Amino acid sequence: MLHKTIEEDIKKTAEALKKFEPKIQGKTFLVTGGAGFIGSWFCDVAVAMKGKVICVDNLSSGSKESISHLIGSKNFAFLEQDACNFSTKENIDYIIHMAAIASPPAYQKYPIESLDANIIGIRNMLELARASKIKGFLFTSTSEVYGNAPDHLIPTEENFYGCINSFGPRAMYDEGKRAAEAYCYSYFQKYKLPIRIARIFNTYGPRIDIKSTSQYGRALIKFVHQALHNEPITVYGDGKQTRSFCYITDQVEGLFSLLLAAGIDGEVVNIGNNRETSIHELSQKIIKIASSLSKPALHHPPHYDIKDDPRRRCPHTAKAEKLLSFTPKVPLEEGLKNVIGWYRDAVGIAP
Ligand code: UDP
């Protein structure tokens, strides 16, 4: 059964996307990485709006649990396969290529698989797109393509070329995504495929990967886990590094808008929230909302290489506003409340 917050959020997102209903109803969406965090929400909203979804995921970082409620619905098919070699003769209207390993400790543990998902995966999907006469192709790239942007380029616009180390602990993800963008550009130029690229900034919400609470996890959900267990919050470095956190419903609304808006093939758009927050501030907010006894403890990560960890990350959102009339709506405090409530229920911690 779906958590109440998730159920309400899916309804709200479908409502916000109502103007796109004719482009969704009865259309077939191939979603790679559909059992991942953002992927599963994308599938939920597509099915809620009467689209048909083929979800392809090799479950390397996604989980069947996040889509189990959809399995059995006539508008949803799950195929446990790798996007790198997936093929189908079905009629596909839209391809959304999300399959990737997005958590830094996880892609550092699986560097080759991470490169493959981004480079071989995109090539395979673009070839499928060429064979399928699709209406739209969305590649979910990342803010990581900007790397460590200098202060005067924060918030970061889409025209910044990036400041990236190609031979370091983030290279397998960052360079994989950059190569995938270059494939998209080349297929767009050569074959005029209807490609759009979303550069996704940090996103959170209910159903964010719970495996993330382990040493392989991402900051926000790890902090929630630590706060709810009154454990020290593992803030890395001085905690002054920043991220800008976008609530999942906003992210999904932005992705659908980018895929379905008219006349913007070949565009690259930041999808994220432009409220910049330091990691220390994030830990304080989570402690407060969870009424926790935890304290932030400056911490050296044993299983995670923080070399090349970007100091600041924040999207410039003017292009999304202009092309998609899209602005994130959910304040960080409200989103954190939802995640904390959901996580309590998911792991059975009494309020
Ligand atoms: N981080 C932290 N403690 C943790 C995990 C991450 O302080 O237990 C920091 C990490 O060094 C980075 C920020 O939090 O500066 C965001 O990390 P996240 O794992 O969410 O991934 P990223 O945004 O770097 O892709």
For 141-152, the pLDDT digits (tens) are 999 999 999 999
Establish whether residue 104 lines the binding site of ligand 1, counting it when its CB lies within 6 angstroms of any ligand atom.
yes
> Are 226 and 148 within 8 A, CB to CB?
no
Residue identifier of the C-alpha nearest atom 5 of ligand 1 = 219
pTM reported for the whole predicted model: 0.97
Taken as a whole, the chain contains a residue count of 351
Task: Tell me: pLDDT of 213 over 60.
Answer: no
Non-local CB neighbours of 100 within 8 Å, separated by 6+ positions? 33, 36, 114, 117, 118, 121, 140, 173, 176, 177
Nearest residue (by CA) to ligand 1, atom 21, is: 218
Q: What residues are annotated to the active site? A: 173
Question: Average pLDDT in the 255-265 region?
Answer: 98
Q: Does ligand 1 have an atom closer than 6 angstroms to the CB of 279? A: yes
CA 46–ligand 1 middle distance (angstroms): 30
Atom of ligand 1 nearest to the CA of 306: 11
pLDDT value at 215 more than 70: no
- pLDDT confidence tier of residue 103, bands split at 50, 70 and 90: confident
One DSSP character per residue, 28-87 reads: EEEEETTTSHHHHHHHHHHHHTT-EEEEE---SSS-GGGGTTTTT-TTEEEE---TTT--
- Average pLDDT of the chain to the nearest whole number: 95
Determine which residue's CA is closest to atom 4 belonging to ligand 1.
Answer: 219
Ligand 1 in reach of 270 Cβ (< 6 A): no
Q: How confident is the model at residue 298 (pLDDT cuts 50, 70, 90)?
A: confident
154-204 confidence digits (pLDDT tens): 999 999 999 999 999 999 999 999 999 999 999 999 999 999 999 999 999
| pLDDT tens readout for residues 233-250 | 999 989 999 999 999 999
How far away, in angstroms, is 61 Cα from ligand 1 center?
18
Backbone angles phi, psi at 200, to 5 degrees: -85, 130
**Choices 3.30.420.300, 3.40.50.720, 3.30.110.70, 1.20.120.140: CATH for 4-204+246-276+311-330:** 3.40.50.720
Q: What is the mean pLDDT of residues 242-269?
A: 98
CB of 306 closer than 6 angstroms to any ligand 1 atom: yes
pLDDT at 260 over 60: yes
Atom of ligand 1 nearest to the CA of 102: 25
